[in-house]
Amino acid sequence: MAELFIIGICLVLLIAYIFDITTKFTKIPSVIFLLAAGWLLRQASKFFGSGIPDFTVILPILGTVGLILIVLEGSLELELNNSKKVMIKKSMFVALIPVILIAVGFAIFLQWEWDVPFKQGLINMIPFAIISSSIAIPSAVNLATSKRQFITYESSLSDIIGVVFFNFATFGTAITLSGGFHFVGQFFLMLIISIVASLVLAFLLAKIDHHIKYGPIIILNILIYEISKIYHLPALIFILFFGLVLGNIDELKNVKLLRNFQFTKLNKEVKHFKDVVVEATFVVRSLFFIVFGFVLKTEDIINQDSLVWSISIVISIFAIRFIVLKLAKIENQPLLYIAPRGLITILLFLSITPVERIPLLNESVVVQVILLTTIIMMIGLIFEKNVEEVRGNADEPIPKKILSD
């Protein structure tokens, strides 16, 4: 039995790798293949009568580790310098406004139409307001460099903003001014912890001579994240900050306290660390979506009762995105379509306590919103020409408006 399980895992991961490679050519997001593979495995288990194992227990674990690795991978790619200032401002605007409008707007509607307490509505709607970087970033592989970087910034920031907002909404028994100040205090405490911990981990990365060093650094990231969560601190801030420190290590050369630091050696270590994080993220992300596909119930996918809510949420997502992109003076094509929901939505939805759950926003709505937003993204990307086709293999294609003020 153990041998068959190991063989199955290996085959599934190899198939996931093939899906990841073919995305560049088919323009079909690999998450579609992964979810389909998981769902087909479930049907095969039913057909052969081998029994359906309960993977719902490990799904939150895979999701948490996947979230940490995805945010770390994304933040390692983010450049913080004057040349990226305009892009950072615009990506922050495009990431922040939809999260607030979707979550608050639907929470007000639920309170007005269904007498759902505002806080409860907010908690249930925030997961639907967040772009999934685990789907968006890999799907943008064929886009021009500037558009691809924008998606990386925007989706990573959307993850951070959404999780911090969710932590605030679930903090305490009511949303009050004093609770807000307390949360802001916790945020700045987490920021201080992040600065100190990030510099210490960067120092360890440069100083450790043992042949095993990258694994322990990743484990320490997960450990600090989980301990911070126990004390209700916005733990994802640390992961983002650590990735930004390593990804922009050259910007610290002018800091007086760090002038004697071995930046040349650290740059080399950071490059290797990035490679390890990318590999680990691929494995965990693939397993998560395959397992999620496996636990998917066919009745949840085709549930007509939840379609009204699912379609309403999806329409709101893209309508607000269209307006925000226009306000930010950013070219709509194909960025308008790249707003998938995925790992973050699932993870936050699963973390909502049964008491806070709203029956109207059930598992069927989550599944349908994820599938609909991913399919819309797929259709939008299919009709987007490859950078090589448009520019003749140009090294640095620049869109018309994305970098303009």
In a domain, 170, yes or no: yes
Tokens of residue 125, six digits:
């709607």
User: Do 397 and 144 meet the contact criterion of CB atoms below 8 Å apart?
Assistant: yes
Sign of CA pseudo-dihedral 171, 367, 134, 46 = positive
Domain range for 107 is 12-48+56-391
Asked if the structure places residue 398 within a domain, the reply is no
The string of pLDDT tens digits covering residues 11-44 is 888 888 888 888 777 777 888 888 888 888 888 8
**8-state DSSP, 258:** G
Q: Given the structure tokens 């997502």, which residue do they identify?
A: 317
Amino acid at 75: S
Does residue 172 fall inside a structural domain?
A: yes
Whether 403 maps to a domain, the answer reads no
Residue 334: asked if its preceding bond is cis (omega within 30°), the reply is yes
The answer to whether position 396 is within a domain reads no
User: Would you say 400 and 331 are in contact if contact means Cβ atoms under 8 Å apart?
Assistant: yes
309 in a domain, yes or no? yes
CATH code (residue 116):
1.20.1530.20
- Could you list the pLDDT tens digit for every one of the 405 residues in the chain? 567 667 777 888 888 888 888 877 777 788 888 888 888 888 887 777 766 677 778 888 888 898 889 888 878 877 777 777 888 889 999 999 999 999 999 999 999 988 999 999 999 999 999 999 888 988 887 788 888 889 988 998 898 889 888 988 887 666 667 767 777 888 888 888 888 888 888 878 877 887 888 888 999 999 998 998 888 777 888 888 888 888 887 766 666 656 555 556 677 888 888 899 989 988 998 888 888 888 888 888 888 889 999 999 999 999 999 999 999 999 888 899 999 998 889 989 988 988 999 998 999 999 999 999 999 998 988 877 654 444 444 444 444 444 444
Q: Report yes or no on 7 lying in a domain.
A: no
Residue 4 located in a structural domain: no
Enter the pTM of the model. Answer: 0.85
Q: Report the number of distinct structural domains present in the chain.
A: 1
